[in-house]
Structure 1
Amino acid sequence: MTRSLAEDAEAAERLLTSGTMTVEGRIVQASNATLRCDIELDGVQAKCVYKPVAGERPLWDFPDGTLAGREVASYIVSQAMGMRIVPPTVHRDGPYGPGMVQLWIEPDPEVDLVALSRANDAAVRRVAVFDAVVNNADRKIGHLLPVPGGHVHGCDHGVTFSTDYKLRTVLWQWRGKPLKPLALQALAKIRAELDGTLAERLTGHITPAEVEATRHRVDLMLKHRVHPYPPEDWPAVPWPPM
């Protein structure tokens, strides 16, 4: 069976990096400029999401112009953990300047996202582990992208990697519960890589202090071996939750 682009990271990254993009339209629900595009390279075609840095809305708690880089850093971590949660994502120039370009994932329309976000689902639980590592400050229900076969992708990772604990998510059903063996393996794997080339790759998109904070979060999860609890001084659930 031929692997999809979502499963073939090398092919997807090549397409996203070098393909010709044609803007199809804007996703108006997004708070930042988010464009859906067609992309083509050597006869290979796909849909993608393009978020130009120029269209990022300033935030009080994240430096201006850094959201696209955080999306790419999230993809790098997702791949390093072996989880494939974040769809293939690159940073490149586009029709409206540099920005993030991510493979479009069409979610399974048969899945009830609200029910999925509340379920004791193994694929969603992996998303919760990933979010704790990248310190995701905005995991909404609509950011879950389930696909046929049971795998769950996630999108919108622009507000991640803060040095302050800002985990804000709809996935708190596992708080304080023991991490699964596969999650601990993924955490151990990425912790080892954070002392090597992975740190260098991330520093191209986030600051050295944010890389060090990521090491610290992983160390805490490996030490206590449980899913984290909500922060005490920060809203635990994004609003609106969808």
Structure 2
Amino acid sequence: MTVLAEKDALELLGRGTIEIEGRLVDASNTTLRAEITLDGLTRRCVYKPVQGERPLWDFPDGTLAGREVSAFLVSQATGWDLVPPTILRDGPLGPGALQLWIDEPDTAEALIGFVPAYDIPSGWLAVANARDEDGDAYALAHKDDPRLARLAVFDSVINNADRKGGHVLYPATGSIHAVDHGVSFHVENKLRTVLWGWTGKSLIPEATDVLQQLTERLDGELGEALEEHLTVTEVQHVRLRVRRLLRSKRFPKPPQDWPAIPWPPV
């Protein structure tokens, strides 16, 4: 299937006709897979209606859908193409987040997972120890891969509280995409991720320029766009997190007062 340019994908999502196929039952909130068609072009998408969101005590403001869209806007500003095209629009069940569906080939090789503790693959970074039902030792680990390193920087910026391995997709293009950002952008440090392999290490070289560009854009159109979905204080804290990363030039360390790894991790 031909890969859509971002502009074309956003046009399709914004103006296409939505036909719901079914519900993704593993999701904690109402998450629907749908087909969307415009001028003879049809693609799949994910539709998350606001009315299907369960209230979260620690995210009382705005909507999860708005946070999904905000994650795309930040991703778009980085130029790293991490989050699939995502918009907020009316659908069959009212307003919600609409995101382009990402197909993964059967041969896609995951870069995050559990591996034998005594046989961690070369070029992988261990994150946490674990044991299976038989008591055998495993390690939660991920590959030391620049695509994941970009994602770790991105998650630090948006304060992602739920970066599971299963939220990272591997399309046939060789890139990676990340989904499920409804619990991001909190003003408190709630970073929870499986990508702790670079803890305390120097940021990847390209991150400095990207973060500097983000700083400028957050003071302009990006900041204004985020304020349509987040509180003013939440947007201010995005700026603060970017500045902290620029000052330290290092990947953050796990929080001490918040579980550092989501459950389940993958």
Q: Say whether the 8 Å CA contact 2:70–2:226 is kept in structure 1.
A: yes
In 2, the alpha carbon distance for the partners of 1:24 and 1:64 equals 30
In 1, the alpha carbon distance for the partners of 2:245 and 2:105 equals 32
Three-state SS of the structure 2 residue aligned to 1:129 is: helix
Structure-to-structure mapping, 1:57-76, within 5 angstroms: 57-63=54-60, 66-76=63-73
- In the comparison of the two structures, how many residue pairs are matched? 239
Q: Say whether the 8 Å CA contact 1:108–1:145 is kept in structure 2.
A: no
- For 1:29, the aligned partner's letter is D
- For 1:71-126, what per-residue CA distance to the aligned partner results, in whole angstroms no more than 9, with x for missing partners? 00000000001111000000000011100000000123323433486110111111
User: 1:204 offset after TM fit, Å?
Assistant: 0.5
Q: Say whether the 8 Å CA contact 1:169–1:237 is kept in structure 2.
A: yes
1:34 maps onto 2:58 in alignment: no
Runs of 4+ in 1 over 3 A off after TM superposition: 114-117
User: 1:65 offset after TM fit, Å?
Assistant: 5.4
Q: 1:170 aligns with which of 183, 194, 208?
A: 194
Structure 1 gap segments, 5+ residues each: none
Q: Greater shift after overlay, 190-199 or 56-65?
A: 56-65
Larger fraction in helix: 1
Tell me the residue number matched to 1:222: 246
Larger fraction in strand: 2
Tell me the residue number matched to 2:168: 144
In 2, the alpha carbon distance for the partners of 1:15 and 1:127 equals 26
Q: Say whether the 8 Å CA contact 1:139–1:169 is kept in structure 2.
A: yes
Q: Say whether the 8 Å CA contact 1:54–1:65 is kept in structure 2.
A: no
User: 1:64 offset after TM fit, Å?
Assistant: 6.0
- For 1:178, the aligned partner's letter is S
In 2, the alpha carbon distance for the partners of 1:65 and 1:211 equals 12
Q: Say whether the 8 Å CA contact 1:52–1:94 is kept in structure 2.
A: yes
User: 1:63 offset after TM fit, Å?
Assistant: 1.7
- For 1:159-191, what per-residue CA distance to the aligned partner results, in whole angstroms no more than 9, with x for missing partners? 010000000000000111101121111111111
Structure 2 length-normalised TM? 0.87
Structure 1 length-normalised TM? 0.95
Q: Say whether the 8 Å CA contact 1:179–1:226 is kept in structure 2.
A: yes
- For 1:24, the aligned partner's letter is E
Q: Say whether the 8 Å CA contact 2:149–2:204 is kept in structure 1.
A: no
Q: 2:147 aligns with which of 123, 126, 146?
A: 123
Three-state SS of the structure 2 residue aligned to 1:118 is: strand
Tell me the residue number matched to 1:213: 237
Q: Say whether the 8 Å CA contact 2:36–2:44 is kept in structure 1.
A: yes
Structure 2 gap segments, 5+ residues each: 114-123, 125-140
Over aligned residues, Cα RMSD in angstroms? Answer: 1.5
Structure-to-structure mapping, 1:65-214, within 5 angstroms: 66-113=63-110, 114-115=112-113, 118-214=142-238
In 2, the alpha carbon distance for the partners of 1:121 and 1:162 equals 27
- For 1:18-74, what per-residue CA distance to the aligned partner results, in whole angstroms no more than 9, with x for missing partners? 100000010000000000000000111100000000101111211265100000000
Three-state SS of the structure 1 residue aligned to 2:235 is: helix
